[in-house]
Every structure is written in C-alpha cells, then in structure tokens.
Structure 1
Amino acid sequence: MSEEKKQQLQDSDLVVWPVFSELIAMDEDEEGFSKNLFQTFKDQVEDTFEEIDENLASKNLDKLSSLGHYLKGSAAALGLVKISSQCERIQNYGHKINCDNFELSPTSTVDTDSDDYWVLLISDAFEKAKDGFEKSEKALNEYFDDEL
C-alpha cells in the first residue's frame, strides 16, 4: 500500500485510523482479510438502508432505533466514524432522545411530541449516513485500488 493512499485515507476524516490500521494489520495473517470485512459491511449497509427506508415509511421508531444500533456497531468496529455517528443519531431518535439537540428549520410546523418529528430527525441522520457511506466507499475503493 502506498504511503500516499494511507495518508489520503487518514486525512479524509472518514475513518478512525487506529481502528482501521488494526484491521489492515490482520492482512499479514490472511491476505485480503480487511477488504473482505469491508465488502461484507457494504452488503450489510445496503440491506439495512433498505430496511430503514421501509421503516421510515411506516414510522416504526423502535425498529429504526434497532437498525441504527445494529449498523452503528458494525461501522464503529471498522472505524467508519461518519457512518457510525449518524447511525447513533438514528438509534437515539428512534427512542425519542435528541442526543445532539438537532433542530428542524425554524419554519417547521411539526409538533415536537409527534412521531412525525422524530421521523424527520431520523431522515436527516439517514441522509447523512448515506452520504458518509458513499464517501467512505469511494475512499476505500481508492485505498484498496479495487471496487468493494
């Protein structure tokens, strides 16, 4: 792996480097181990994002919280901080906990006690999680010099 690619990934703020580098070190024992982990995670993300979409439509806050928790743990274990932090928001909002004091636009007329309010907050976190995933996937493709 070139030093330039390592530095680009470190500078991207998409990964927690100490966690990520530990995974990469495992490639010494089993070639391609880390890449396989990230490929498995990509599949997991795609399935979970689909479930989040479905549960946003049905406003199932408990399930959304569970899905956020599930993906948060997987992303954190891989050092994917942008995805992990947004999934933590989904998890908390699903329990009606505004963990980061996020506010909708001042012109919003949604009652903060309604499920619709929490669905909007989850939708914001979900959009940011998808963006973080796209950026992370691109950065990892460049790092591994291959498509995940």
Structure 2
Amino acid sequence: MAPSATPAAAKSTDDLGLDLTGKEDLLDRTTFEQILEMDDDDEDREFSKGLVHGFFEQAESTFDKMEDAIAARDLHEISQLGHFLKGSSATLGLTKVKDACEKIQHFGAQKDESGTVDEPDETKSLANIKKTLTEVKDAYKEVAKVLSSFYQDTESS
C-alpha cells in the first residue's frame, strides 16, 4: 500500500482506477477525490456515480440548448448556458470542460476568451462560440469515457 503522505499530484493514475494517462488536464484529481469521499460505499459509489451521470445528462441537454441559441444568435442565452455548465463541471473537477465553458460564457458576453476585452463583432463572437463548443464537446466525450470506465458503466454515455 502506498504511504499516506504521498501528495495527490504524485499518486499513480491507478490508485483510484482512473486512467488519465496523457489526459491529466481533463480532471482535477483533488476535486474529484473530494466527491468520492462523499460515497457511503467505496465499491458501489452510488452518490458520486449519480452526480456524474446527472452531469452527463445535464451537459448533453445544455449542448443542445447552446446549438439552438447559436442558431437564434442569442448571445446572452449562450453566455448563461456557458456559465451554468462551467459551474457544474467545476464541481466535479472537469477542468477542460470548465475552461471551455468559461470561454463560451465570455464569448456570449461579447468579450475575448479571457473576458477582459470587448468584442463588438457579433459574427466573430458566434464563430468563437462554435469553435469552442466543438472543443468542449470533444473534452466532454474524453472525460465521459474516462469516468464511464471508472464506474464500469456498461451503457454508453
């Protein structure tokens, strides 16, 4: 058994059964481990599994709403949806998803990706949103695959 003094960042990727090899930027291990600590049963992990599966449903629904808002050119709605999904993904430690959602939030507010510089061109903001939405969906698929494997899900997410 590994010594308890081992820092979380130095742990191997298999101490929890998470395979993050080459994908360390997908998940903040410390945050995710805090969620896992709330499980009553380490084997079933019903609490954390429920949170993760709820997030999967929420993310897919939010992506659909973002697509609709893009089609309607509703930047305000896109910004709100980005903010919403940013919070949910941050709670689980889904770093790459959170970061991309934050960019979408900023682009929807007609700012640059950092949220500090105004972008008055609505068409440019929408183009940035479309590009970033593709990126966030890819990041979501990657982390969903890792977490589905962790929870040994038989059904596809």
Structure 2 length-normalised TM: 0.79
Distance, in Å, in 1 between the alignment partners of 2:120 and 2:77 is 19
Give the superposition deviation at 1:99: 2.9
Distance, in Å, in 2 between the alignment partners of 1:70 and 1:55 is 14
SS at match of 1:3: coil
Give the superposition deviation at 1:62: 0.4
Taking the TM superposition and a 5 Å limit, the aligned residue runs for 1:80-91 are: 80-91=94-105
Q: RMSD of aligned C-alpha atoms?
A: 2.0
Distance, in Å, in 1 between the alignment partners of 2:31 and 2:70 is 31
- Determine which structure has greater relative contact order: mean sequence separation of CA pairs < 8 Å that are 6+ residues apart, divided by chain length: 1
Q: Identity rate of aligned residues, in percent? A: 31
Q: State which of 126, 130, 141 in structure 1 corresponds to 2:148.
A: 141
Match of 1:25 in 2: 37
Distance, in Å, in 1 between the alignment partners of 2:74 and 2:54 is 26
Distance, in Å, in 1 between the alignment partners of 2:72 and 2:141 is 25
Q: Which runs of 4+ in 1 moved over 3 A?
A: none
Is the Cα contact below 8 Å between 1:10 and 1:17 reproduced in 2?
no
**How many pairs are equivalent?**
136
Is the Cα contact below 8 Å between 2:107 and 2:113 reproduced in 1?
yes
Structure 1 length-normalised TM: 0.84
Which structure has greater helix proportion?
A: 1
Structure 2: runs of 5 or more not aligned: 1-13
Structure 1: runs of 5 or more not aligned: 102-111
Query: For residue 9 of structure 1, what is the amino acid of its counterpart?
Result: L
